[in-house]
Structure 1
Protein backbone atom coordinates (compact mmCIF):
# COMPACT_ATOMS: atom_id res chain seq x y z
CA UNK A 1 0.00 0.00 0.00
CA UNK A 2 1.52 3.33 -1.04
CA UNK A 3 1.63 6.18 1.45
CA UNK A 4 0.07 9.55 0.68
CA UNK A 5 2.62 12.37 0.27
CA UNK A 6 2.55 14.76 3.22
CA UNK A 7 1.60 17.74 1.08
CA UNK A 8 -1.55 15.95 -0.10
CA UNK A 9 -2.88 14.82 3.28
CA UNK A 10 -4.52 18.10 4.35
CA UNK A 11 -6.22 18.74 0.96
CA UNK A 12 -7.52 15.15 0.92
CA UNK A 13 -8.94 15.42 4.43
CA UNK A 14 -10.45 18.80 3.57
CA UNK A 15 -12.25 17.25 0.60
CA UNK A 16 -13.41 14.20 2.58
CA UNK A 17 -14.83 16.29 5.42
CA UNK A 18 -16.24 18.89 3.01
CA UNK A 19 -14.71 22.33 2.43
CA UNK A 20 -17.59 24.00 4.27
CA UNK A 21 -16.99 22.02 7.47
CA UNK A 22 -13.22 22.31 7.26
CA UNK A 23 -13.37 26.05 6.60
CA UNK A 24 -14.10 26.73 10.28
CA UNK A 25 -10.79 25.18 11.26
CA UNK A 26 -8.89 26.72 8.36
CA UNK A 27 -10.05 30.20 9.38
CA UNK A 28 -8.84 29.74 12.96
CA UNK A 29 -5.53 28.31 11.78
CA UNK A 30 -5.03 31.16 9.32
CA UNK A 31 -5.82 33.77 11.97
CA UNK A 32 -3.12 32.21 14.15
CA UNK A 33 -0.62 32.24 11.28
CA UNK A 34 -0.85 28.47 10.92
CA UNK A 35 -0.99 26.18 7.90
CA UNK A 36 -3.69 23.94 6.50
CA UNK A 37 -1.90 21.02 8.15
CA UNK A 38 -2.37 22.77 11.49
CA UNK A 39 -6.08 23.04 10.72
CA UNK A 40 -6.12 19.23 10.38
CA UNK A 41 -4.40 18.93 13.75
CA UNK A 42 -7.02 21.22 15.33
CA UNK A 43 -9.81 19.17 13.77
CA UNK A 44 -8.31 15.96 15.14
CA UNK A 45 -7.96 17.51 18.59
CA UNK A 46 -11.57 18.68 18.48
CA UNK A 47 -12.68 15.11 17.76
CA UNK A 48 -10.40 13.72 20.48
CA UNK A 49 -11.51 16.12 23.21
CA UNK A 50 -15.15 15.56 22.24
CA UNK A 51 -14.72 11.85 22.84
CA UNK A 52 -12.90 12.41 26.13
CA UNK A 53 -15.72 14.62 27.44
CA UNK A 54 -18.41 12.03 26.76
CA UNK A 55 -17.51 9.93 29.81
CA UNK A 56 -17.97 12.68 32.44
CA UNK A 57 -21.06 13.96 30.62
CA UNK A 58 -22.47 10.43 30.61
CA UNK A 59 -21.96 10.09 34.36
CA UNK A 60 -23.48 13.53 34.92
CA UNK A 61 -26.60 12.82 32.87
CA UNK A 62 -27.26 9.47 34.53
CA UNK A 63 -26.65 10.84 38.03
CA UNK A 64 -28.97 13.80 37.50
CA UNK A 65 -31.82 11.86 35.92
CA UNK A 66 -31.69 9.27 38.71
CA UNK A 67 -31.66 12.06 41.29
CA UNK A 68 -34.73 13.73 39.78
CA UNK A 69 -36.49 10.38 39.48
CA UNK A 70 -35.85 9.79 43.19
CA UNK A 71 -37.37 13.17 44.02
CA UNK A 72 -40.38 12.44 41.82
CA UNK A 73 -40.83 9.08 43.50
CA UNK A 74 -40.83 10.78 46.89
CA UNK A 75 -43.60 13.14 45.80
CA UNK A 76 -45.69 11.18 43.30
CA UNK A 77 -44.84 7.55 44.06
CA UNK A 78 -42.86 4.88 42.18
CA UNK A 79 -45.14 5.12 39.14
CA UNK A 80 -44.72 8.88 38.79
CA UNK A 81 -44.66 8.85 34.95
CA UNK A 82 -48.35 7.85 35.05
CA UNK A 83 -49.41 10.15 37.88
CA UNK A 84 -51.94 12.69 36.62
CA UNK A 85 -50.95 15.30 39.18
CA UNK A 86 -47.39 15.17 37.94
CA UNK A 87 -48.48 15.25 34.32
CA UNK A 88 -50.60 18.32 35.02
CA UNK A 89 -47.66 20.03 36.72
CA UNK A 90 -45.75 20.05 33.45
CA UNK A 91 -46.16 23.00 31.09
CA UNK A 92 -48.06 22.80 27.84
CA UNK A 93 -45.59 24.43 25.48
CA UNK A 94 -46.73 26.50 22.55
CA UNK A 95 -45.17 26.51 19.11
CA UNK A 96 -42.42 24.20 17.96
CA UNK A 97 -40.32 24.21 21.12
CA UNK A 98 -39.62 21.28 23.37
CA UNK A 99 -42.86 19.75 24.64
CA UNK A 100 -42.05 18.36 28.08
CA UNK A 101 -45.53 17.01 28.81
CA UNK A 102 -45.76 15.41 25.38
CA UNK A 103 -42.31 13.89 25.84
CA UNK A 104 -43.49 12.24 29.07
CA UNK A 105 -46.75 10.96 27.56
CA UNK A 106 -45.10 9.62 24.41
CA UNK A 107 -42.37 7.88 26.37
CA UNK A 108 -44.61 6.28 28.96
CA UNK A 109 -46.90 4.99 26.20
CA UNK A 110 -43.95 3.17 24.63
CA UNK A 111 -42.30 1.85 27.79
CA UNK A 112 -44.22 0.29 30.62
CA UNK A 113 -41.83 0.63 33.59
CA UNK A 114 -40.55 3.68 35.39
CA UNK A 115 -36.94 2.59 34.98
CA UNK A 116 -37.36 2.37 31.24
CA UNK A 117 -39.09 5.75 31.04
CA UNK A 118 -36.20 7.31 32.98
CA UNK A 119 -33.72 5.92 30.46
CA UNK A 120 -35.67 7.05 27.41
CA UNK A 121 -36.69 10.59 28.37
CA UNK A 122 -34.62 13.32 26.75
CA UNK A 123 -31.84 15.08 28.66
CA UNK A 124 -33.77 18.33 28.35
CA UNK A 125 -36.68 16.76 30.28
CA UNK A 126 -34.50 16.55 33.38
CA UNK A 127 -33.16 20.05 32.87
CA UNK A 128 -36.70 21.43 32.70
CA UNK A 129 -37.49 19.86 36.07
CA UNK A 130 -35.35 22.59 37.64
CA UNK A 131 -37.84 25.40 37.14
CA UNK A 132 -39.61 27.37 39.84
CA UNK A 133 -42.95 25.66 39.14
CA UNK A 134 -41.58 22.57 40.90
CA UNK A 135 -40.29 24.32 44.02
CA UNK A 136 -43.38 23.96 46.26
CA UNK A 137 -43.94 20.24 45.70
CA UNK A 138 -40.43 19.00 45.02
CA UNK A 139 -37.39 21.17 45.62
CA UNK A 140 -38.43 23.16 48.68
CA UNK A 141 -38.87 19.84 50.45
CA UNK A 142 -36.41 17.46 48.83
CA UNK A 143 -33.53 19.41 47.28
CA UNK A 144 -31.07 18.92 50.13
CA UNK A 145 -31.87 15.25 50.60
CA UNK A 146 -31.53 14.53 46.87
CA UNK A 147 -28.41 16.69 46.53
CA UNK A 148 -26.89 16.31 50.01
CA UNK A 149 -23.62 18.06 49.18
CA UNK A 150 -25.14 21.43 48.35
CA UNK A 151 -24.29 24.04 51.00
CA UNK A 152 -27.37 24.68 53.11
CA UNK A 153 -26.39 28.29 53.73
CA UNK A 154 -27.86 29.19 50.34
CA UNK A 155 -31.62 29.00 49.66
CA UNK A 156 -33.24 26.37 47.49
CA UNK A 157 -34.05 28.79 44.67
CA UNK A 158 -30.40 29.83 44.31
CA UNK A 159 -29.21 26.23 44.06
CA UNK A 160 -32.00 25.27 41.68
CA UNK A 161 -31.21 28.15 39.33
CA UNK A 162 -27.55 27.19 39.24
CA UNK A 163 -28.35 23.52 38.65
CA UNK A 164 -30.66 24.49 35.79
CA UNK A 165 -28.08 26.79 34.20
CA UNK A 166 -25.28 24.24 34.50
CA UNK A 167 -27.47 21.48 33.09
CA UNK A 168 -28.36 23.63 30.12
CA UNK A 169 -24.68 24.32 29.42
CA UNK A 170 -23.82 20.63 29.68
CA UNK A 171 -26.74 19.64 27.47
CA UNK A 172 -25.77 22.14 24.77
CA UNK A 173 -22.17 20.90 24.88
CA UNK A 174 -23.39 17.31 24.67
CA UNK A 175 -25.53 18.13 21.65
CA UNK A 176 -22.64 19.78 19.82
CA UNK A 177 -20.47 16.76 20.49
CA UNK A 178 -23.23 14.41 19.32
CA UNK A 179 -23.47 16.33 16.03
CA UNK A 180 -19.68 16.44 15.57
CA UNK A 181 -19.63 20.23 15.76
CA UNK A 182 -16.65 22.44 16.70
CA UNK A 183 -16.23 22.95 20.43
CA UNK A 184 -12.71 24.41 20.39
CA UNK A 185 -13.91 27.96 21.02
CA UNK A 186 -15.73 27.00 24.22
CA UNK A 187 -14.28 27.27 27.71
CA UNK A 188 -14.10 23.51 28.10
CA UNK A 189 -12.30 23.64 31.45
CA UNK A 190 -15.17 25.68 32.90
CA UNK A 191 -17.75 23.34 31.39
CA UNK A 192 -15.98 20.29 32.76
CA UNK A 193 -16.07 21.97 36.17
CA UNK A 194 -19.85 22.36 35.78
CA UNK A 195 -20.11 18.65 35.09
CA UNK A 196 -18.06 17.92 38.19
CA UNK A 197 -20.14 20.26 40.36
CA UNK A 198 -23.40 18.71 39.18
CA UNK A 199 -22.21 15.22 39.99
CA UNK A 200 -20.65 16.33 43.28
CA UNK A 201 -23.94 17.82 44.44
CA UNK A 202 -25.33 14.31 44.24
CA UNK A 203 -22.29 12.16 45.11
CA UNK A 204 -18.78 13.24 46.00
CA UNK A 205 -17.33 9.79 45.29
CA UNK A 206 -18.74 9.80 41.76
CA UNK A 207 -17.47 13.33 41.18
CA UNK A 208 -14.00 12.32 42.32
CA UNK A 209 -14.16 9.40 39.90
CA UNK A 210 -15.10 11.72 37.04
CA UNK A 211 -12.09 13.93 37.66
CA UNK A 212 -9.80 11.14 38.78
CA UNK A 213 -9.60 9.65 35.30
CA UNK A 214 -8.04 12.95 34.10
CA UNK A 215 -8.59 11.99 30.47
CA UNK A 216 -10.93 14.86 29.72
CA UNK A 217 -8.76 17.44 31.46
CA UNK A 218 -5.62 16.13 29.76
CA UNK A 219 -7.36 16.31 26.39
CA UNK A 220 -8.46 19.90 27.03
CA UNK A 221 -4.94 20.91 28.02
CA UNK A 222 -3.52 19.31 24.86
CA UNK A 223 -5.19 21.90 22.60
CA UNK A 224 -2.68 22.55 19.81
CA UNK A 225 -3.19 26.33 19.50
Structure 2
Protein backbone atom coordinates (compact mmCIF):
# COMPACT_ATOMS: atom_id res chain seq x y z
CA UNK A 1 0.00 0.00 0.00
CA UNK A 2 1.24 3.48 -0.86
CA UNK A 3 1.82 5.99 1.92
CA UNK A 4 3.19 8.85 -0.16
CA UNK A 5 1.48 10.57 -3.02
CA UNK A 6 4.58 10.18 -5.18
CA UNK A 7 4.04 6.40 -4.97
CA UNK A 8 0.81 6.91 -6.92
CA UNK A 9 2.56 8.52 -9.89
CA UNK A 10 1.73 5.56 -12.13
CA UNK A 11 -1.97 5.95 -11.30
CA UNK A 12 -2.35 9.73 -11.14
CA UNK A 13 -1.26 12.45 -13.50
CA UNK A 14 1.51 14.75 -12.37
CA UNK A 15 -0.97 17.64 -12.48
CA UNK A 16 -3.25 15.76 -10.06
CA UNK A 17 -0.36 15.02 -7.72
CA UNK A 18 0.73 18.67 -7.84
CA UNK A 19 -2.76 19.75 -6.77
CA UNK A 20 -2.32 17.92 -3.48
CA UNK A 21 1.34 18.83 -3.02
CA UNK A 22 0.49 22.52 -3.47
CA UNK A 23 -1.48 22.51 -0.21
CA UNK A 24 1.80 21.91 1.61
CA UNK A 25 4.03 24.30 -0.35
CA UNK A 26 5.51 25.75 2.86
CA UNK A 27 6.66 22.32 4.08
CA UNK A 28 10.44 21.97 3.65
CA UNK A 29 10.62 18.26 4.48
CA UNK A 30 9.83 16.69 1.10
CA UNK A 31 9.08 13.28 2.60
CA UNK A 32 6.62 14.79 5.09
CA UNK A 33 5.09 16.93 2.33
CA UNK A 34 4.65 13.81 0.19
CA UNK A 35 3.00 11.92 3.05
CA UNK A 36 0.67 14.83 3.92
CA UNK A 37 -0.37 15.17 0.28
CA UNK A 38 -1.18 11.45 0.22
CA UNK A 39 -3.25 11.74 3.40
CA UNK A 40 -5.14 14.68 1.87
CA UNK A 41 -5.78 12.65 -1.28
CA UNK A 42 -7.16 9.72 0.77
CA UNK A 43 -9.29 12.12 2.85
CA UNK A 44 -10.68 13.59 -0.39
CA UNK A 45 -11.65 10.09 -1.58
CA UNK A 46 -13.37 9.36 1.74
CA UNK A 47 -15.29 12.65 1.73
CA UNK A 48 -16.33 12.09 -1.89
CA UNK A 49 -17.59 8.61 -1.03
CA UNK A 50 -19.58 9.92 1.93
CA UNK A 51 -21.12 12.69 -0.18
CA UNK A 52 -22.04 10.18 -2.87
CA UNK A 53 -24.15 8.29 -0.33
CA UNK A 54 -26.00 11.49 0.60
CA UNK A 55 -26.51 12.44 -3.05
CA UNK A 56 -27.83 8.96 -3.81
CA UNK A 57 -30.35 9.19 -0.97
CA UNK A 58 -31.33 12.69 -2.13
CA UNK A 59 -31.95 11.40 -5.66
CA UNK A 60 -34.18 8.56 -4.45
CA UNK A 61 -36.14 10.87 -2.14
CA UNK A 62 -36.56 13.49 -4.89
CA UNK A 63 -37.75 11.04 -7.55
CA UNK A 64 -40.19 9.37 -5.16
CA UNK A 65 -41.56 12.76 -4.10
CA UNK A 66 -42.10 13.81 -7.71
CA UNK A 67 -43.75 10.49 -8.61
CA UNK A 68 -46.09 10.84 -5.60
CA UNK A 69 -47.04 14.29 -6.87
CA UNK A 70 -47.57 13.10 -10.46
CA UNK A 71 -49.89 10.23 -9.58
CA UNK A 72 -52.98 12.33 -8.71
CA UNK A 73 -52.90 13.83 -12.21
CA UNK A 74 -51.61 10.89 -14.24
CA UNK A 75 -52.68 7.90 -12.11
CA UNK A 76 -50.56 4.99 -10.92
CA UNK A 77 -48.75 4.67 -14.24
CA UNK A 78 -47.90 8.37 -14.26
CA UNK A 79 -44.40 8.02 -15.63
CA UNK A 80 -45.74 5.95 -18.56
CA UNK A 81 -48.85 8.04 -19.17
CA UNK A 82 -49.05 9.18 -22.79
CA UNK A 83 -50.11 12.73 -21.94
CA UNK A 84 -47.28 13.05 -19.44
CA UNK A 85 -44.68 11.77 -21.91
CA UNK A 86 -45.94 14.02 -24.72
CA UNK A 87 -45.66 17.07 -22.49
CA UNK A 88 -41.98 16.52 -21.72
CA UNK A 89 -39.22 18.50 -23.39
CA UNK A 90 -37.81 16.53 -26.33
CA UNK A 91 -34.52 15.59 -24.61
CA UNK A 92 -36.34 14.56 -21.42
CA UNK A 93 -38.91 12.58 -23.42
CA UNK A 94 -36.14 10.84 -25.38
CA UNK A 95 -34.40 9.83 -22.15
CA UNK A 96 -37.62 8.35 -20.77
CA UNK A 97 -38.31 6.44 -24.00
CA UNK A 98 -34.69 5.22 -24.08
CA UNK A 99 -35.25 3.61 -20.66
CA UNK A 100 -38.66 2.22 -21.68
CA UNK A 101 -37.14 0.67 -24.81
CA UNK A 102 -34.22 -0.71 -22.82
CA UNK A 103 -36.72 -2.49 -20.55
CA UNK A 104 -38.97 -3.68 -23.39
CA UNK A 105 -38.23 -7.20 -24.56
CA UNK A 106 -40.15 -7.17 -27.82
CA UNK A 107 -41.27 -3.71 -28.90
CA UNK A 108 -39.73 -0.32 -29.59
CA UNK A 109 -41.82 2.58 -28.39
CA UNK A 110 -41.73 5.81 -30.36
CA UNK A 111 -44.22 8.45 -31.37
CA UNK A 112 -45.80 8.13 -34.82
CA UNK A 113 -47.94 10.49 -36.85
CA UNK A 114 -50.86 9.08 -38.82
CA UNK A 115 -52.88 11.52 -40.92
CA UNK A 116 -51.15 14.38 -39.14
CA UNK A 117 -52.15 13.14 -35.68
CA UNK A 118 -49.73 11.97 -33.04
CA UNK A 119 -50.57 8.40 -32.10
CA UNK A 120 -50.53 7.21 -28.49
CA UNK A 121 -47.65 5.04 -27.30
CA UNK A 122 -49.78 2.63 -25.26
CA UNK A 123 -46.89 1.34 -23.20
CA UNK A 124 -47.64 -2.14 -21.88
CA UNK A 125 -47.42 -1.77 -18.10
CA UNK A 126 -47.71 -5.55 -17.72
CA UNK A 127 -44.34 -5.84 -19.43
CA UNK A 128 -42.71 -2.60 -18.29
CA UNK A 129 -42.97 -1.73 -14.64
CA UNK A 130 -43.39 2.01 -13.98
CA UNK A 131 -41.34 1.50 -10.81
CA UNK A 132 -38.49 0.01 -12.82
CA UNK A 133 -38.59 2.96 -15.24
CA UNK A 134 -38.52 5.37 -12.29
CA UNK A 135 -35.50 3.59 -10.82
CA UNK A 136 -33.64 3.53 -14.14
CA UNK A 137 -34.08 7.21 -14.97
CA UNK A 138 -30.99 9.26 -14.22
CA UNK A 139 -30.65 12.16 -11.82
CA UNK A 140 -30.75 14.69 -14.67
CA UNK A 141 -34.26 13.51 -15.58
CA UNK A 142 -35.51 14.23 -12.06
CA UNK A 143 -33.65 17.51 -11.92
CA UNK A 144 -35.46 18.48 -15.15
CA UNK A 145 -38.78 17.81 -13.42
CA UNK A 146 -37.93 20.77 -11.16
CA UNK A 147 -37.54 23.15 -14.10
CA UNK A 148 -40.31 25.66 -14.73
CA UNK A 149 -41.24 23.78 -17.91
CA UNK A 150 -42.09 20.54 -16.10
CA UNK A 151 -42.93 21.86 -12.66
CA UNK A 152 -46.54 22.58 -13.63
CA UNK A 153 -47.14 18.83 -14.13
CA UNK A 154 -46.83 18.12 -10.42
CA UNK A 155 -46.66 21.37 -8.44
CA UNK A 156 -50.36 21.42 -7.55
CA UNK A 157 -49.68 18.30 -5.51
CA UNK A 158 -46.63 19.74 -3.74
CA UNK A 159 -47.98 18.78 -0.32
CA UNK A 160 -48.26 15.15 -1.42
CA UNK A 161 -44.68 15.24 -2.70
CA UNK A 162 -43.26 16.97 0.37
CA UNK A 163 -45.70 16.25 3.23
CA UNK A 164 -43.38 17.54 5.96
CA UNK A 165 -42.87 20.96 4.40
CA UNK A 166 -45.21 23.66 5.70
CA UNK A 167 -45.97 26.37 3.17
CA UNK A 168 -48.27 29.33 3.49
CA UNK A 169 -48.41 30.52 -0.13
CA UNK A 170 -47.63 29.50 -3.72
CA UNK A 171 -44.72 31.97 -3.65
CA UNK A 172 -43.22 30.19 -0.66
CA UNK A 173 -43.74 26.84 -2.40
CA UNK A 174 -42.00 28.13 -5.54
CA UNK A 175 -39.12 29.43 -3.43
CA UNK A 176 -38.67 25.98 -1.87
CA UNK A 177 -38.77 24.25 -5.27
CA UNK A 178 -36.22 26.75 -6.61
CA UNK A 179 -33.97 25.99 -3.64
CA UNK A 180 -34.27 22.25 -4.32
CA UNK A 181 -33.53 22.91 -7.99
CA UNK A 182 -30.45 24.96 -7.05
CA UNK A 183 -29.11 22.10 -4.92
CA UNK A 184 -29.15 19.85 -7.94
8 Å contact from structure 1 (residues 64, 126) kept in 2: yes
CA drift of 1:121 comes to: 0.3
SS of equivalent to 1:78 = coil
Decide whether the 8 Å contact of 1:132 with 1:157 is kept in 2. Answer: no
Q: CA deviation at 1:108?
A: 1.3
Larger Rg: 2
TM-score, normalised on structure 2?
0.74
Match of 1:18 in 2: 13
| 1:136-165 Cα deviation digits (max 9, x unpaired) | 4420x1112210222313522212111111
The 5 Å alignment of 1:84-95 reads 84-92=82-90
Structure with more helix by fraction: 1
Q: State yes or no: 1:70 paired with 2:68.
A: yes
The residue that corresponds to 2:99 in the other structure is: 107
Aligned partners of 2:15 and 2:70: how far apart in 1?
A: 45
Alpha-carbon offset, residue 44 of structure 1: 0.7
**Partner deviation per Cα, 1:159-200 (whole Å, 9 max, x = no partner):** 21111111x2xxxxxxxxxxxxxxxxxxxxxxxxxxxxxxxx
Counting matched residue pairs gives 153
When residues 29 and 102 of structure 1 are mapped into structure 2, their CA distance, relative to the original with a 3 A threshold, is: farther
Deviation >3 Å, runs of 4+ = 134-137
The whole-number CA distance in structure 1 between the counterparts of 2:62 and 2:180 is 10
Partners of 1:26 and 1:36 within 8 A in 2: yes
Pick aligned residue for 1:45 from 43, 46, 49? 43
Q: Which has the higher mean CA deviation after the structures are superposed, 15-24 or 71-80?
A: 15-24
Tell me, in whole angstroms, the C-alpha distance in 2 between the residues paired with 1:10 and 1:137.
51
> Structure 2 unaligned runs (5+)?
28-32, 104-127
**Distance in 2 between residues matched to 1:137 and 1:69, nearest whole Å:** 11
Of 99, 124, 134, 2:140 maps to 124
Task: Give, in angstroms, the shift of residue 43 of structure 1.
Answer: 0.3
Q: For residue 121 of structure 2, what is the aligned residue in structure 1? A: none
Distance 2:96 2:43 in 1: 37
Q: Which residue, out of 48, 52, 55, partners 2:53?
A: 55
Larger RCO, structure (CA 8 Å, separation 6 or more)? 1
Q: Check 1:38–1:69 CA distance in 2 against 1; reply closer, same or farther (3 A cut).
A: same
Structure 1 unaligned regions, length at least 5: 93-98, 169-225
Distance 2:182 2:38 in 1: 33
Distance in 2 of aligned mates of 1:76 and 1:158: 25
Residue 175 of structure 2, aligned match among 155, 158, 168: 158
RMSD: 2.1
